[in-house]
Amino acid sequence: MKLVVRYLYLSLRALITVVILLVVIDNAAAQDIQFSQFYANTLYLNPAFAGSTHDLRGVLHQRIQWPKLEAKYITSSASLDTYIKKTKGGIGLIVMKDWQGANTISSTDIALQYAQEVDFSSKFSMRFGLQGTYVSRNINYAQLTFPDQYTDGGYSGLGTSEDFGMNRKNFFDLSAGTVLYSDNLWLGISAHHINNPNQSFYNEVSRLPVKIGIVGGYKIEFDGGGVNNANKTSKYTLTPTFYYKMQGKSDQLDLGVYGMREDLMLGFWYRGIPIKHYERNLQNNESMVVLLGWRINRLVVSYSYDFTISKLNNTRTGGSHEFNLTYIYPLPLKRKIYKRLPCPKF
C-alpha cells in the first residue's frame, strides 16, 4: 500500500512539473507577473510613472506566491527613478528576477524608462513614458522529471527520451504608457510587449502577447478633527482604486480602497471578475488582499497578504506575501510648485 501511495505521489509530482513546463515554455498565452501592491512597484505598473514623485526614489519589492506548492513563484525587483528638472521628464531603471516552479525556470529583466510631463492646464497634467527591456530566460532541465523516468517501482533515476530545446532565451521588449491626473483624480493606460517578442526555447515562434493595463483612482480627503505633532490639523484620506489588465485570452481586475491617516496606511481589495465564468461552475475569483503600511520619515515599509478564494485554495497554497521598501530622497527643486500624482505613496 505504501508503495502504491508513493508511486501515485511521484506520478502526480511529475505531472505537475510537466504541466508547469508546458505552460511556461510553450506559453502562447503566457501571463505577466501580478503584484498585489501595484502602486508600490510603480515603474513595473506603467513607465509613465518614472520621475513622478519629482524626487529620487528607490524601491525594493518581493513577492512570494503559493509558498506551500512546489509550483511556487518568487519574484524580486529593485528600481530607481528620478526627476529631470530641465526637461520636465523622468528616468527610471528596474531590475527584476523571477523564479518559477522550485527554481526550475528563471527570468531576469533589465528595463530603462523615460517619461515626459506635460501641463495641459492649471488642473490637469499628463505623463508619457517609454520602456526598453532586455529579458533573459533560463530553464534547468536537470531539475525536471518526466513520465518515462517512472516505473512500477517509482522514480527510476534514469535519463529521459524527451527532446529538449535551448536552456536560455534572450530578447528585447518594448513598452509604453501614459497617465492623466489632477489633484485628486488619475487615469493611466499602459501597453507592454508591443513588439510581441518571440520567447520560445525551441526553434519555433511563440510570441508574447501584448498586455494592456488600465489603472485609476480618486482621492477623498477628510478632516480628522485633531492636531498632530507639527501643530497641523490631522487629515485622513480614502482612495478607491482599480487596475484592469488583459493579455492574450486572459483578463483580470483589482478593485479596492486605500485608507491613509498620517503615517499609517491600510488597504483592502478584491482580485477577479465575478461576472465572468471560465466554465459553467468556475467563476473568475482569485483572491482577497489586505495591506498594512507605515512611513518612517522618508522610508516606507509595507506588507500585503493574498487570501486565495478560487478553487485553488483546496490545495492549501499558503496564499501570497508581498514586502516593499520605498525610500524617497528630496531633490533641491526651486520655488515652482509641481503637481504631484494623488495615487497612494505606498
Q: What was the pLDDT predicted at 226?
A: 54
Per-residue pLDDT, averaged over 48-61, amounts to 95
2: Cβ–Cβ under 8 A, 6 or more apart, which residues?
A: none
Residue type, 174: L
| Whether the model pTM is above 0.75 | yes
SS3 247: strand
Give the burial string for 330-343 (b: 16+ CB within 10 Å, else e). Answer: eeeeeeeeeeebbb
Cβ atoms 64, 103 nearer than 8 A: no
Render pLDDT for 225-237 as a digit per residue (tens, 0 to 9).
555 555 455 578 9
Label residue 142 by pLDDT band (50, 70, 90): low
The alpha-helical segments, DSSP class H, found in the chain are 2-21, 42-45
> Between the ranges 13-17, 33-37, 199-203, 212-216, where is the mean pLDDT highest?
212-216
Label residue 334 by pLDDT band (50, 70, 90): low
Instruction: Report CA-CA distances (Å) from 309 to 32, 221, 278, 315.
Output: 20, 32, 15, 11
Per-residue pLDDT, averaged over 142-159, amounts to 63
143, three cell numbers: 531539475
Cβ atoms 269, 241 nearer than 8 A: yes
How many CB atoms are located within 10 Å of the residue 198 CB? 12
Cβ atoms 148, 162 nearer than 8 A: yes
pLDDT: which is higher, 120 or 45:
45
Label residue 338 by pLDDT band (50, 70, 90): low
Mean pLDDT of the chain: 81
Beta strand pairing call for 299-308 and 220-227: unpaired
Per-residue pLDDT, averaged over 87-98, amounts to 95
Q: What was the pLDDT predicted at 11?
A: 36
CATH of 2-151+168-329, one of 3.30.559.10, 3.30.720.110, 3.60.15.10, 2.40.160.40: 2.40.160.40
- Least confident piece of the model among 102-106, 131-135, 185-189, 270-274: 102-106
pLDDT at position 27 over 60:
no
DSSP state of 23: I
- Least confident piece of the model among 120-124, 206-210, 217-221, 254-258: 120-124
pLDDT: which is higher, 142 or 190:
190
Residue type, 17: T
Q: What percent of the chain has pLDDT over 90?
A: 50
Q: What was the pLDDT predicted at 29?
A: 42
Label residue 285 by pLDDT band (50, 70, 90): confident
SS3 161: coil
pLDDT at position 339 over 80:
no
pLDDT at position 346 over 60:
no
What φ, ψ does residue 143 adopt, rounded to 5°? -90, 0
Q: Rounded to an integer, what distance in angstroms lies between the CA atom of residue 301 and that of residue 323? A: 8
Q: Rounded to an integer, what distance in angstroms lies between the CA atom of residue 159 and that of residue 104? A: 17
pLDDT at position 162 over 50:
yes
Residue type, 45: L
What φ, ψ does residue 40 adopt, rounded to 5°? -75, -30
Label residue 192 by pLDDT band (50, 70, 90): very high
Label residue 128 by pLDDT band (50, 70, 90): very high
Beta strand pairing call for 220-227 and 211-218: unpaired
pLDDT at position 15 over 60:
no
Q: Can you name the residues that pair with 64 across neighbouring β-strands?
A: 74, 321
Label residue 100 by pLDDT band (50, 70, 90): confident
Q: Rounded to an integer, what distance in angstroms lies between the CA atom of residue 346 and that of residue 333? A: 22
